[in-house]
Structure 1
Amino acid sequence: MMRLFDTHCHLDFDAFDKDREAVLERANEAGVEGFMVPGVTRNQWEKLTSLASKNTSWSYALGLHPWFIEEHDISDIEALEQTLEQQKGQVKAVGEIGLDKTFQHYDKQHTLFIRQLELAKQLKLPVIIHHRKTLDRTHADIKKYGPERGVIHAFSGSHQQAMKFVEQGYKLGVGGVITYDRAQKTRQAIQEVPIESLVLETDSPDMPLSGYQGQRNEPYRVALVLDALAELKSTDKEALASQLWKNSVELFS
């Protein structure tokens, strides 16, 4: 059976509290053997690390997500550094971090983003990056402050933008967006990016696939993202799955 890795799923979120075991079971049945669960706020890290310690298939990251900017304090960076040092070898990345122009306090977002990039570089950890209307700024910051490895979560830019990150040594996260016919720019960009630079993700419980709008997203649907990607690239699904697994393991090794 093909081995799949959902490189971005928020399995620690309250949306999964009632049936987390069943969700993981469905994912396992679909061949999902690896899960990367990113942290989003300082208050959430404890629940995340506790759950991850009980699930051997989980990898986890810790970070301060721009969506929750009002919950973050600049002093959280010190707490993040301490926690990353304490959990060295267990925590596999710094994330989810990034910039989001649709949210307020952009200057504060930017300060936290740069500090987290610097921290990841210092600790030789990859980063998991959220972006919205900020791809060019994100690229400039990574180039100046960031580590050598990372993933651009839910990539949705042009082919030219995609290749800038690829040349930087970063992977692009491919999720449910490519299942929508209307997402022509993203589909075209992903179609042209080398397979070695891609990883699969769902962003569960968010970002539903086409045909599942309004429903909670789940990691088992990463298999449907694989189907869409194999079709988009006109390539053998098993060979594709094998390469994507390798990419994911390398990214978070």
Structure 2
Amino acid sequence: MPELPDVETLARRLRRRLRGRRIRRVRVLTPSTIRHPDPATFSRALRGRRIVGVDRRGKYLLICLRGDLTLAVHLRMTGDFEITDSGAPVHRHTRVLFEMNGFHLRFIDLRRFGHMDLLTPRQLQRLPGLSTLGVEPLGPQFTRIRLREIVRGHRMGLKALLLRQDLIAGIGNLYADEILWQARLHPARATGTLREEQIAALHRIIRRVLDRAVRRLSRYGRAVGVFLDAREREGRCPRCHGPLRTGRIGGRTTFFCPRCQR
């Protein structure tokens, strides 16, 4: 499932190409992708509308439109946008097609779990899943003191805490494992056992991992990291060379090093 770095990278790429462009026409090929309003109203409302910006909030992609409307997109497991020539063949997993001047913006989604809502500012503030998001870990409000408040205020395992979107927005399974490996913290460790210096280190590592992931995704097109690579291979710990262990922690499949992470 796309996480903060994936959605941030996509937002930056689309921002460069789409800002100031006008949507000529919208073709909804899979009606269930559109949650609000109904697909016909959705298409009519977007026709002729100019894109003024592309932002991100947590794992949501927000395409801002002239006339105080926002297209809120959640990619879910397999959603993605691609920009193609207008004459290019339409991929069979294309769910929504936006016709621009000279090119197409196409929403591709293999498993059809992604969804879109076209919303007014008031509706956007009330959107379930978006309105309850926690602090942005790459934003200025995510300070060491804020993380300390989150850790001290919630008694649970560390990985479960990192996955709580209402506390810290955008971190998913993959990057939670990377963060905790770099911090040398066991994913099931109780939040109440962390010392002050460990909270400070965790704060620094969260920001570093996510920032590097955004930069590397922009450059290489995929997540690049020593532990991420080892995790994909189910190999050995890059630090101590001991075998990695897998288990269900926080309801998710988790990779960790039982030697390094305490």
Structure showing greater radius of gyration is 2
Measured against the shorter chain, the TM-score band is: 0.3 to 0.5
Greater fraction helix = 1
TM-score (norm 1): 0.33
Q: Which has the higher contact order (CA 8 A, sep 6+)?
A: 1
Greater fraction strand = 2
